[in-house]
Amino acid sequence: MTTSAQIFPQGFLWGAATAAYQIEGAWDVDGKGESIWDRFSHTPGKVLDNATGDVACDHYHRFQDDVALMKSLGLQAYRLSVSWPRVLPAGAGKANPKGIAFYDRLIDALLEAGIEPFITLYHWDLPVALQDRGGWANRDIAGWFADYAALMVRALGDRVRYWITLNEPWCVAFLGHHWGVHAPGLRDRRLAIQVVHNTLLSHGMALQAIRAAGGSRTQAGITLNFDAKLPATDNPADQAAADAVLDPNYEWFAEPILRGYYTPRILEDAGPDAPVVQPGDMALISARNDFLGVNYYTGSFYRAAGDKPEQVEMPGTEYTLMNWAVVPQGLTALLKRLSRDSRGRLPLYITENGCSYADEISPDGRIHDAKRVAYLRAHFAAAHEAIQAGVDLRGYFVWSLMDNFEWALGYRQWFGVVAVDYATQKRTIKDSGYYLRDVIAANRVL
């Protein structure tokens, strides 16, 4: 709910997020290696319209203009990801100086514009050379990933303070290896659950590598995606029903990171597909993070039906173009839960939140995306409510800075606060972009 004076704490960081494969383009330029998303999108039938990220927003060639755009919006922080095969074409071994030079220039441009960079090391574009060696299903990836992390921190750590190891490992494991709708397109539940464990292990090893290569100011964490499972009413039986719903995002990822174990019920659900865990793994996985990145888009509601939870539709619920229910109160609940489960000791950042709607350019040349503005306003207010309740929330990155390649859905989803005309690469700030600019300037919900 929007009330008067929803002011955020001083120093609260406002930003926007993107990911390399979704915006960079330049897929085979300057010595870049092939990624699993290059291979997947070049395989007919895998992506809607057979769209690819070959050009995307051509950010590789236009980053200076894009940084100027960020500055014009008053962004205080920008979350980007590094393309692993751009800097290490074979995934390991010899680095590509031109690839590193690109990120070097980008970071300098951001700093010059007064924008704090947050780097995600893995946002889904694994080098094909490593996929050929088993990719995330091979436990050795933890070492490859840690070496890559160290390389990047050595290259940029003098200027970049915030490092995020992986983005949404749930998607890596299940969308990529169980349902096959994301690269590498495998359909094997057992493999997917082993990937869960291997991504977590990789995170743990990378944390150590980042800290060893970085300075004392270095902050390292991971970004997880969540949805909220809420009770349909205040009735305690409905709350119990919501709590009884298996929550794979939370139980496969947040629980092991925060508490060092997989919940018995998620292991029971995995049955014979439960991951192989070696001695020492869980200690590595639950090592202290400097912060946790939270990606939140949607939630669902449950009521008690006999002794089983039943999902219910709440009357009047709004849905985005992704068919995701708009549930801002789920963000408040999630942030409070994470704060409680980490005993208030883990600073949180919302590293992604936003919505896709089909936009229209109006005759005045503007994009009046009132629904996106309403979505953001409601979620900003929900985040503010969590802070009021004592949650240590430090910043908020809107997904996304600009429209981009939405994975298997190609270019038919629009999450940006800036529109991109892919034919001309013209950027147009939407009303939501101006709204974000004004919120940042006021540091309060408007």
Cis peptide before 184 (omega within 30 of 0): yes
Residue of this chain nearest to ligand IFM (CB atom)? 19
Cβ nearer to ligand IFM, comparing 302 with 415: 415
258 binds ligand IFM (CB under 6 A): no
First-to-final CA distance of the chain: 12
CA dihedral 274, 280, 285, 287 (to 10 degrees): 160
For the CA atoms of 14, 221, 9, 4, the dihedral, rounded to the nearest 10 degrees, stands at 70
Between 295 and 332, whose beta carbon lies closer to ligand IFM? 295
Cα–Cα distance measured from residue 400 to residue 100, given in angstroms and rounded to the nearest whole number: 24
What is the distance, to the nearest Å, from the Cα of residue 31 to the centroid of all Cα atoms in its chain?
27
Site string for ligand IFM, 338-357 (x = CB under 6 A): --------------x-----
Closest CB to ligand IFM among residues 226, 262: 226
Pattern 22-41, binding to ligand IFM, x per CB under 6 A? Answer: x-------------------
Binding of residue 168 to ligand IFM (CB under 6 A):
yes
The one among 194, 202, 295, 339 contacting ligand IFM by CB under 6 A: 295
Q: Shortest Cβ distance from residue 25 to ligand IFM (Å)?
A: 16
> How far apart are CB 354 and ligand IFM at their closest, in Å?
7
Pattern 302-341, ligand IFM, x by CB under 6 A: ----------------------------------------
Q: Least separation, in Å, of the C-beta of 309 and ligand IFM?
A: 26
Structure tokens at 425: 């690469």
- Asked if 347 and 396 count as a contact pair (C-beta separation under 8 A), the reply is no
Which residue, among 413, 399, 405, 430, has the nearest Cα to 16 in the 3D structure?
Answer: 399
Per-residue interface string for the shown chain with ligand IFM, residues 192-211, x marking contact by CB under 6 A? --------------------
Reading the block at residue 314, the tokens are: 């709440």
Is the Cβ of residue 247 or residue 281 nearer to ligand IFM in the bound state? 247
Checking DSSP bridges between strand 77-81 and strand 116-122, what pairing results, if any? parallel
Q: Which residues contact 407 (CB under 8 A, 6 or more apart)?
A: 22, 37, 47, 124, 182
Structure tokens at 342: 């980490």
Provide the minimum distance between the beta carbon of 81 and ligand IFM in the complex, in angstroms, as a whole number. 9
Candidates 402, 413, 420; CA nearest to 17 is 402
**Minimum separation from the CB atom of position 415 to ligand IFM (A):** 6
Cβ burial, residue 81 (10 Å; 0-12/13-18/19+): buried
Binding of ligand IFM at residue 406 (CB under 6 A)? yes
Residue from 16, 19, 115, 383 binding ligand IFM (CB under 6 A): 19
**Contact letters for ligand IFM, residues 47-66 (x by CB under 6 A):** --------------------
Q: How many CB atoms lie within 10 A of CB 105?
A: 13
What are the residues facing 361 on neighbouring strands? 367
Q: 163 vs 415, which CB is nearer to ligand IFM?
A: 415
CA angle 197, 406, 32 (to 5 degrees): 75
Q: For ligand IFM, which is the closer residue by CB, 250 or 262? A: 250
Catalytic positions are 168, 352
User: Applying CB under 6 A, which residues contact ligand IFM?
Assistant: 19, 22, 168, 295, 352, 399, 406, 415
